[in-house]
Amino acid sequence: MQVRYSLAIPALAALFGGPAFSAGVGVSIEVPRLSGAEYHRPYVAAWIERADNSVASTVAVWYDIRTRTNNPEGEGTKWLKDLRQWWRRTGRELQMPVDGISGATKPVGKHQISLTEGSAALPKLAPGAYKFVVEAAREAGGREVVTVPFQWPPTGAAQVTATGSSELGEIKLDFKP
């Protein structure tokens, strides 16, 4: 008796051998152009909070990482506490730099972050209500926090936005189920 596997093998390969698709989020954070004689790039922290305001994940921390002193991380780490809300919630617990999360301050413009569920910046989240929070603080400038509520997991492709009024521009989340 001869068994034919011609259809079974490709079907099994597609089922078990293909890539595993997870939900993801495309994030856009806008650093607006501000007028003034003395302009400094803002320090920015972005994180995900649960409904009870506990931190589920730090997504990004942009700060001055240049080496100007004997400090191997640069002088900027001492100013991270100016991102007060992030610092109190989770920042003081982190040892900077954090691979894949921390980076240099960003210039004026829209900056993209791509998050895939299961990564360090977007761990597996339980279904429910969450907030994406972005905080910016600038030397000789102000401080601002923008919050974007969302539901996880996404049920379909969706886009959610919020806009800051001074230190931050548009914060946009593009959900991909």
CATH number of the CATH domain containing 32: 2.60.40
- Give a yes or no: residue 118 inside a domain: yes
Long-range CB contacts (< 8 A, 24+ apart) of 158-165?
Answer: 164/32, 164/134, 164/136
- Give a yes or no: residue 16 inside a domain: no
Minimum mean pLDDT range among 113-117, 140-144, 166-170? 140-144
Domain count, the chain: 1
What would the pLDDT profile of 163-177 be if each residue is shown by its tens digit? Answer: 999 999 999 999 998
Range of 131's domain?
21-176
For tokens 């700060």, the residue is 63
- Give a yes or no: residue 120 inside a domain: yes
- Give a yes or no: residue 121 inside a domain: yes
Alpha helices in 26-162, H assignment, sequence order: 84-89
- Give a yes or no: residue 115 inside a domain: yes
**Rounded mean pLDDT of the chain?**
84
Q: Is the pLDDT of residue 13 over 80?
A: no
- Give a yes or no: residue 1 inside a domain: no
What would the pLDDT profile of 51-76 be if each residue is shown by its tens digit? Answer: 999 999 999 999 988 655 555 555 68
- Give a yes or no: residue 8 inside a domain: no
- Give a yes or no: residue 13 inside a domain: no
pLDDT top residue among 18 and 51: 51
